[in-house]
Amino acid sequence: MSKKQSNDNLEDELDNTRIKLNELTKDMTSQESAEYINRRAREITTEQALQEYHTTLIEVVKRLKNKIVNYSYYLTDFGRKKDGTTPHVFSGSPKFLYNAMQDDVPLADWISQAISNKNPNDVGSRFVI
């Protein structure tokens, strides 16, 4: 499915959801109804976006592992927010660099091994299955 088709499908689904939510919220004030509908639409979009991101992550990691000798990764859900998202890059933030840990491997140690050409093990493989 092309990106445009995917976006069109998402827009259609959001429109259908808004229609259904309008039916469910008839008795609410217009302000309450609008807030509820917008909140629910954001939740759906976030869920779908997270699933799409996860699927893409799995595909990209597989391709990289097949094409690049000694490719390794560090994936974590450290710092996960209520909406399911996580910080994208940790190395620029001392808070995350020195506190992030996945599978009993500190991020700082993994990065140290990677830049020392010690071929660190993959970390966070549960996120790509």
pLDDT in tens, 58-69: 888 888 888 888
- Global pTM value: 0.58
Between the CA of residue 41 and those of 24, 62, 129, what are the distances in Å? Answer: 14, 32, 28
**What is the secondary structure of 26-72 as a DSSP string?**
TTS-HHHHHHHHHHHHHHHHHHHHHHHHHHHHHHHHHHHHHHSTT--
Between residues 124 and 8, which one has the greater pLDDT?
124
CA distance 45 to 58: 20
- Report the phi/psi class of residue 70: left, alpha or beta, with left for phi > 0 and alpha for psi in -120 to 50: left
Which amino acid belongs to residue 125? Answer: S
C-alpha to C-alpha distance for 87 and 79, rounded to whole angstroms: 7
127 against 20, higher pLDDT: 127
**What's residue 10's pLDDT?**
63
Q: Is the dihedral of CA 47, 45, 23, 4 positive or negative?
A: negative
pLDDT recorded at residue 96: 77
pLDDT in tens, 70-119: 888 888 888 888 877 776 666 567 777 788 889 999 988 998 998 888 88
| pLDDT number for residue 103 | 92
Can you give the residue ranges of every domain in the chain?
1-69, 72-129
pLDDT tens digit sequence for 2-30: 656 555 666 666 666 666 555 554 555 56
